[in-house]
Amino acid sequence: MQKTTNIDSTKKFTELFSRLSSNSADKQKRTIEEINEMIIEMNEKDSNLIFTKELFDKMDKMIEEKEICLENAFVLLKSIGCWNVLKNVHDYSFRGSSLNQRFKKMIIEEELKKEEKNEKLLVDLFECFILLNFCFPLNSLSICVPCLLKSSSNKEENKEAQTEVEVALLALSGAGYCKLDKELFLDEIKEIIEYHQEHHNLTRIAYQSAWMFLIKRIIFENSLEEIIVNELHFAREARRELEELSKCVDGKRKEGWKGGKETKEELLLMKWIETLLVYFRHCKLWNEDFADLINSLVQVFRIAKDNHREISGECINVLEEAARNRSVTVDDLLRSGAVDVFLEEIHKSTMNDRITIKSLEFIYNISNRLKKEDDERKEAKRKITKRNIYEKMEEEGYEDTIFCFKRMLYFLCMNYEHRMACNVSYYFVNV
């Protein structure tokens, strides 16, 4: 059935795309609207069959022969690129196409103009380039980033303006990791986030994209942590978004994430979870809101665990990453319910190897955090936390379950996680 669906989708797309070269600009717009509606419904298998180098080469030829106007080509290409970013699909077919080379050349030509530059054209070119290449045009950073941030700062409330802002922020968030001078982006992105916090002018995906763009910069600029954590209150904002979006997830649907079409809210929830993964991986500044944020993630996991394997799996990844993060205290993990999640999962007879190793790694990271302290006050607190952890394990029957894993632990360590210590179970049984 899935194979038939892929064939039908490819055929329908090909038919719609073939109309473009024989239509007027206005008719092209209407056809592109149909194509865009189809793109929204696509899955990754469809995209692999349709969004090929040959397709982008064909579009380049159509632009060259004026069979499609540049404005309409931009609309279609942005739709494809936004779909890639929203569904976290990285298809590099565009990179090797003649259309990519055309856009590179157009960007350079526009930048070299001595007279006033066409900012609208540059924004369109930058957005298409980033959304389809998943990276910034490195030689154009000093123009590209301010240009897109300016487009993102549009405070008009009409739908067209909101869409333009959303696409610009999606492009910025999807560009991957690249070192940028703070002067290129910090004041502008702070203003965008703060203005939304007060006026709620951005779409939900635009707001998430603004955060993702900023948080990715932590890797190159540690001073951003103070702004993200204590000035812009990321943990508080992310918690609210998780709580709102989780209300839209149907935890009882019969079809799992892989089997059915995900909703817009589910896609956005995945994007926020992805943002949290980057956040806990790179942000080392503690905040009192951590436990509440992690608790919200735990609640998302519980809603999604039976029927949304992609969502629940990513929640596990973030929780395990939080345990690695030394700025997240063991008390945070205990109070938030994260410890309960892993103890419940490791107690199941139906666990897969990946969840097993994530659970054991989580426990291993906690064990490293509970080593004896030289400072008397810290040592007293450590003993209390350690006792609370032990009581939780005892309550869940963990010490019985751990022996089931003891014999397979060496195998798992060798095949999945080389950093895992082989005496993890011994440590906890004898805590």
Angle at 326 between CA 325 and CA 330, to 5 degrees: 95
Confidence band of 272 (pLDDT split at 50, 70, 90): very high
What confidence score (pLDDT) does residue 168 get? 98
Residue 54 in domain: yes
Number of domains in the chain: 2
Residue 320 in domain: no
Residue 428 in domain: yes
What confidence score (pLDDT) does residue 413 get? 53
Confidence band of 403 (pLDDT split at 50, 70, 90): very low
Question: Is 60 exceeded by the pLDDT of residue 426?
Answer: no
User: Hey, how many other C-beta atoms are within 10 angstroms of the C-beta on 360?
Assistant: 24
Task: Decide which of 193 and 249 is more confident.
Answer: 193
Whether 279 contacts 229, CB under 8 Å: no
The domain boundary residue, chosen from 134, 162, 177: 134
Q: Residue 341 is encoded by which pair of tokens?
A: 């999640």
What confidence score (pLDDT) does residue 415 get? 53
The domain boundary residue, chosen from 105, 134, 163: 134
User: Hey, how many other C-beta atoms are within 10 angstroms of the C-beta on 341?
Assistant: 23
Residue 141 in domain: no
State how far the alpha carbon of 395 is from the alpha carbons of 105, 172, 299, 343, 366, in Å: 65, 47, 21, 10, 18
Task: Decide which of 175 and 348 is more confident.
Answer: 175
pLDDT in tens, 409-421: 545 555 554 444 4
- Least confident segment among 13-22, 188-197, 231-240: 13-22
Q: Which of 196-210, 309-323, 329-343, 387-401 has the highest mean pLDDT?
A: 196-210
pLDDT (average), residues 375-385: 81
Question: Is 90 exceeded by the pLDDT of residue 188?
Answer: yes
Whether 70 contacts 63, CB under 8 Å: yes
What confidence score (pLDDT) does residue 45 get? 87
Residue 176 in domain: no
pLDDT in tens, 145-155: 999 999 999 99
Residue 120 in domain: yes
Residue 157 in domain: no
Residue 364 has phi, psi (to 5 degrees) of: -60, -45
pLDDT in tens, 107-126: 999 999 988 899 999 999 99
Question: Is 70 exceeded by the pLDDT of residue 402?
Answer: no
Confidence band of 356 (pLDDT split at 50, 70, 90): confident
Residue 65 in domain: yes
State how far the alpha carbon of 146 is from the alpha carbons of 39, 125, 182, 220, in Å: 29, 14, 11, 18
pLDDT in tens, 218-269: 999 999 999 999 999 999 999 999 999 999 886 655 544 444 567 889 999 9
- pLDDT over 70 percentage in the chain: 85
The domain boundary residue, chosen from 134, 152, 179: 134
- As a whole number, the mean pLDDT across the chain is 86
- By residue range, what is the domain housing residue 410? 350-431
pLDDT in tens, 124-141: 999 999 999 999 999 999
pLDDT in tens, 27-38: 999 999 999 999
Residue 414 has phi, psi (to 5 degrees) of: -70, -30
What confidence score (pLDDT) does residue 349 get? 58
